[in-house]
C-alpha cells in the first residue's frame, strides 16, 4: 500500500483523479493549506493540492514571474501553462506569501497567451496574517464568499449538515496521521521519512473516503512492522514547502532517517482538529487561521520554536535540517533564528538553501548532508 502511495505522490494526475473525472465529478485545485478542504468536499468535489513536481523547464514560469522569486509557484504556473492541470475545474489562490499572491495575477495573465490555462472557476481568497477577533470574522466572511461562489458557479448547495460530515471525515484522517506520527517518531520507527512523506502527500490527491480507508490499513499494518532505525541518526526537517520524495531519500541515503518534520506538506497540515460543534464555517475559520506554525503569520515565532522543540523531543532527534527554497524570505530569515535558538539548547542544526523540487542540486546537497552527519556522529 505504501508503494501505491509513492506512485500517487510522484505524479500530478493519478488513477483516483482519472476515475473521479470519468464519473463526471469536479476537481478544485489550491496551493496552500489555508484553503479548507472541507468546503470543497462538502460541495461534492475533490480538493486537490497543487504541486510543481516533474517540472523540466521554467520557460513559462520565468516569463511571468521573473527569475528572482521562489520556484514553487513558478513550477505550478509552468505545469498549468503546459496543460498538466487541464483536469482542474477550478482553482482557489490565497495570499500565503507574496510569491503565492502573485500566482493569481500571473496565472490569469498566462491564460491570455495559453488557451485553456485558466479553468472556468478561478477564485482569489484573502487570508489575514494574525489571529484576532476581527481577523477571524474577516476570514469567516472570506470562506462564506468562497462557498457561495462555488455554489453559484457549479449549481450546487452546501448545507451546514454536509459541512459537518466533511469536518468529521477530515478530522478522522488527521487523527490517523497523528497516530502515524507517533509510530514514526517512536524509538523503533517502522517507516522511513520517504515512506511517511509519500503517505501524507497522497492525501492531497485522493478522494478523502479512499484515503482514510487506506490510511487505516497502513497504520494498523505498521504496528506489526520491523523497525527501520537500526542505529541510524534520527533527523527532523523544518522549513519551506518540500514535496519531493527524492529530497527525503537523498537525506536518508547518508545514514539517517527522517523521523519528524514541521513542513506544510507534512505535520503542519494535520496536527490540529476542527471543532465539530457549533457553526461549521466559524469552526473552520478558527482552525485554519490558527496555523501559527507558518511564518506568514505575524508575531508567533515563540510558538513556532516551541512546536519544533516539542516535536524534536518527542522524536528524540539527533539533528535538525533547516531548509528553505531560494528567495523564500519568510523561512529563510526565520531559519537563521531557529538555528541560533536550537543550537543554544544543544540541538545540532544545518541550514540549507535550495531550489524547489526537481531543480534540486543533488551533488551539493548530498555533500552538505554528509558533512552534517559526520558532525552529529
Residues 211-249: tens digit of each pLDDT: 999 999 999 999 888 888 788 999 999 999 889 999 999
Res 228: pLDDT:
83
* Mutual angle of helices 193-202 and 160-184, in 10-degree steps: 170
- Inform me whether the pLDDT recorded for 359 exceeds 60: no
Whole-number pLDDT of residue 374: 94
From CA 308, how far away is CA 235, in angstroms rounded?
12
Stretch 42-60: mean pLDDT: 95
Task: Provide, rounded to the nearest whole percent, the portion of the chain with pLDDT above 70.
Answer: 99
CA separation for the pair 149, 230 (Å, rounded)? 52
**Predicted local confidence at residue 224, as pLDDT:** 82
Of the candidates 118, 138, 147, the residue with the CA atom closest to the CA atom of residue 40 = 147
| Per-residue pLDDT band at 261 (split at 50, 70, 90) | very high
| CA 109 – CA 97 distance, rounded (Å) | 19
CA quadruple 47, 152, 96, 315: dihedral sign: negative
Query: Does the domain made of 14-159 have the CATH classification 3.40.50.11890?
Result: yes
Cα(97)–Cα(249) distance, rounded to whole angstroms? Answer: 28
Is a pLDDT exceeding 70 seen at residue 357? no
* Residue 28 CB coordination number (10 Å): 24
pLDDT of residue 152: 98
Mean pLDDT (whole number) for 53-70: 92
Residue 238 main-chain phi, psi, to 5 deg: -130, 150
Q: How confident is the model at residue 207 (pLDDT cuts 50, 70, 90)?
A: very high
Least confident window among 186-195, 255-264, 311-320, 358-367: 358-367
In which order are the strands placed within the sheet that holds 319-325? Answer: 256-262, 233-239, 319-325, 349-354
Query: Does residue 377 have a pLDDT over 60?
Result: yes
What was the pLDDT predicted at 223? 85
Amino acid at each position: 500500500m505504501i508503494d501505491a502511495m509513492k506512485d500517487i505522490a510522484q505524479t500530478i494526475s493519478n488513477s483516483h483523479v482519472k476515475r473521479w473525472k470519468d464519473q463526471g465529478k469536479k476537481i478544485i485545485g489550491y496551493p496552500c493549506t489555508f484553503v479548507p478542504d472541507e468546503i470543497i468536499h462538502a460541495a461534492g468535489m475533490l480538493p486537490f493540492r497543487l504541486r510543481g513536481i516533474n517540472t523540466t523547464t521554467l520557460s513559462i514560469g520565468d516569463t511571468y514571474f521573473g527569475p528572482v522569486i521562489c520556484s514553487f509557484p513558478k513550477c505550478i504556473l509552468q505545469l498549468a501553462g503546459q496543460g498538466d492541470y487541464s483536469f482542474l475545474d477550478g482553482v482557489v489562490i490565497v495570499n500565503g506569501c507574496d510569491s503565492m499572491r502573485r500566482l493569481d495575477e500571473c496565472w490569469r495573465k498566462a491564460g491570455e497567451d495559453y488557451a485553456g490555462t485558466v479553468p472556468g472557476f478561478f477564485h482569489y481568497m484573502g487570508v489575514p496574517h494574525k489571529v484576532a477577533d476581527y481577523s477571524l470574522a474577516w476570514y469567516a466572511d472570506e470562506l462564506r464568499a468562497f462557498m457561495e461562489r462555488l455554489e453559484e458557479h457549479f449549481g450546487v448547495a452546501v448545507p451546514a449538515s454536509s459541512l459537518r460530515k466533511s469536518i468529521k471525515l477530515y478530522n478522522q484522517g488527521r487523527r490517523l496521521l497523528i497516530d502515524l506520527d507517533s509510530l514514526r517518531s517512536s524509538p523503533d520507527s517502522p517507516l522511513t521519512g520517504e515512506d511517511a512523506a509519500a503517505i501524507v502527500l497522497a492525501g492531497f490527491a485522493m478522494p478523502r473516503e479512499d484515503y482514510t480507508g487506506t490510511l487505516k490499513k497502513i497504520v494498523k499494518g505498521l504496528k506489526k512492522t520491523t523497525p527501520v532505525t537500526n542505529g541510524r541518526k534520527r533527523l527532523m526537517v523544518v522549513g519551506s514547502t518540500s514535496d519531493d520524495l527524492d529530497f527525503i531519500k537523498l537525506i536518508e541515503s547518508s545514514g539517517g532517517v527522517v523521523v519528524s518534520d514541521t513542513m506544510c506538506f507534512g505535520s503542519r497540515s494535520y496536527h490540529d482538529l476542527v471543532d465539530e460543534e457549533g457553526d461549521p464555517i466559524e469552526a473552520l475559520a478558527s482552525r485554519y487561521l490558527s496555523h501559527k506554525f507558518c511564518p506568514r503569520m505575524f508575531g508567533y515565532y515563540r510558538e513556532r520554536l516551541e512546536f519544533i522543540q516539542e516535536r524534536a523531543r518527542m522524536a528524540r532527534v539527533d539533528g535538525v535540517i533547516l531548509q528553505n527554497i531560494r528567495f523564500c524570505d519568510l523561512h529563510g530569515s526565520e531559519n537563521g533564528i531557529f538555528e541560533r535558538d536550537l543550537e543554544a539548547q544543544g540541538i545540532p542544526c544545518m541550514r540549507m538553501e535550495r531550489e524547489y523540487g526537481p531543480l534540486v542540486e543533488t551533488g551539493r546537497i548530498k555533500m552538505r548532508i554528509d558533512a552534517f552527519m559526520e558532525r552529529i556522529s
